[in-house]
Structure 1
Amino acid sequence: MGQTLNRNVARAICISDNKILLAKSKGKCNFYLPGGGIRKNESAAAALIRELKEELDAEALIIGFLGIIENQWSVNDTLNYETTFLFAARIEGSENGYTHSNEETLSFHWTPLDSINLMDIRPECVKDLLLRLSHIYNLSLNTCERF
């Protein structure tokens, strides 16, 4: 194995009206959570707010810290390690389901929670987490509607 790259990122789980916000790089088939790299001397929360402002030209409200996910993969001779700081967040002004990308290489999609099992969401451990969260989210919505 040749080179090793380490990267810290902050990503958001944004759920509104039974939909989750996912990002997609143009020309790629897979989806991932919105967010991006953490700069030197920047907190994960500050990085997430900055990244969402840059990508969506929108203000983000962090609801809470959810945890850390570690992921690794190889591309050619490079081993990549990524540490993801995961937050629950809300994108201000996105309640109508429209989210505009500020970057030509990115698109954003409000995706129904019940269809994420059919999608290529990476890393796979994030997809597994989203499937568990969507089940809990749907249970809590159904429970609340009964009262």
Structure 2
Amino acid sequence: MDSALIPEGVKRCSPKVFFLWTLPWLGLLAWGLVAAFLCLYKGLNQTNMSNYFAFALWIVFDLAVIALGAGAFFTGFLTYIIGKKELKDIINSAVVIGFICYSGAVAMLGIDIGQPLRGWFIFWHVNVHSMLAEVS
């Protein structure tokens, strides 16, 4: 049924090997969910930010994820708009990676707000005296 999606000559791994390969990724995902819960439950002091270390790794990870997602969608631009046929083989993976990266960035910003349910306030109650009003 999925033979059209798998290139010729590529063999599938057994479910046991696949599960063992995904186990570290599932552990990393669980660790991230626990960290997100701690940030939402106990506050942003869990991120170890202070006046001395203002951004810690929080903004670094956010920018890295956004940059990776931008590169993935730029690959789509090169493939479909510019017409680079050489990128045809990786475009499906690039779009999925871009979607995952941007979704992760939105999730990180939602945790960074501290109260994600109030995230829409930035659009309705804009602080016009803030330099960050242009960014939001």
TM-score interval, normalised by the smaller of the two chains: under 0.3
Greater relative CO, 1 or 2 (CA 8 Å, sep 6+): 1
Report the structure number with the largest CA radius of gyration: 2
Q: Would you tell me which structure has more strand in proportion to its own residues?
A: 1
Q: Would you tell me which structure has more helix in proportion to its own residues?
A: 2
Q: TM-score, with normalisation over the residues of structure 1? A: 0.24
